[in-house]
Amino acid sequence: MTLDEITISRAIISDYMHTLLEYMEMDVAIVGGGPSGLVCSALIAEKGYKVGLIEKKLSIGGGMWGGGMMFPRIVVQSEAKRLLERFNITHSEFSPGYYTARSIEAVSKLTTAAVDAGVEFFNLTTVEDVMVKGDGRLSGLVINWQPVEATGLHVDPLTIRCRMIVDATGHDAVIAHYVSKKMGKPDIKGEGTMWADNAESAVVTHTKEVFPGLFVCGMAANAVSGGHRMGPVFGGMFLSGESAAVQILQQL
């Protein structure tokens, strides 16, 4: 077989353009491909809904890749152990209630679960604004290529329509900030200091709909509600993603 470079290029452009057109409208758009976003997307998509995950970086996984200070291990507490088992992530008990897992395996298996459930990924894509129309409900996102944002090029964006949006952008709570700036709510309190025990339970409590059509999960939830940070313990992230999925599925 003789390979033709133009055929290769046409295959990539044709396939991806077809996907972009298909996902101009979707059930749920999840912004941020960290652990909470991955869990949330997988659990919603496996119920048959059209889910797109938007990630501004080249790779999926958020802060989980680096574990703690580049030691590629994460800790998950007993409350979230069942989700390690749910996604077949190998783990071992370090001491009662504390389980360690390999960062790279955790990211890879969560990503695989999302892909297998039908989630479509849009990496190197950034959200630069939101759509809120006459009904006062968040109804879409304004997107562009991340390199356009990074280089400061004046290139107009495109838009996508979605029934529900999840802000899983971590500490920055990007989507919540866009909505707050334009609509005056939610009231974003900002992230507190390191306090793992408090933060891990609070992040699940803070996972909720903060504006019609907008849910927050993971560290974005704590940033909006004034919760603390927790470092490389990820059980709360998993449970927060699960909680967001459960709440959204009740509305879809």
Q: Is 216 annotated as a binding residue?
A: no
Q: Is 15 annotated as a binding residue?
A: no
Residue 131 to residue 63: CA distance in whole angstroms: 28
CB atoms within 10 A of CB 141: 25
Q: Is 36 annotated as a binding residue?
A: yes
Q: Is 55 annotated as a binding residue?
A: yes
Helix (H) or strand (E) holding 210: strand 208-211
Query: Is residue 31 within 8 Å of residue 233, measured between CB atoms?
Result: no
CB atoms within 10 A of CB 136: 11
Q: Is 224 annotated as a binding residue?
A: no
Check residue 161 and give left, alpha or beta (phi > 0: left; psi -120 to 50: alpha): beta
Q: Is 242 annotated as a binding residue?
A: no
Residue 102 to residue 98: CA distance in whole angstroms: 14
Token pair 């699960």: residue: 242
Q: Is 182 annotated as a binding residue?
A: no
Query: Is residue 138 within 8 Å of residue 165, measured between CB atoms?
Result: yes
Q: Is 63 annotated as a binding residue?
A: yes
Length of the chain: 252
* SS3 call for 170: helix
Q: Is 102 annotated as a binding residue?
A: no
- Looking at residue 2, its amino acid is T
Binding-site annotation: residue ranges for NAD(+): 36, 55-56, 63, 127, 154-156, 219
Binding-site annotation: residue ranges: 36, 55-56, 63, 127, 154-156, 171, 219, 229
Binding-site annotation: residue ranges for glycine: 229
Binding-site annotation: residue ranges for Fe cation: 156, 171
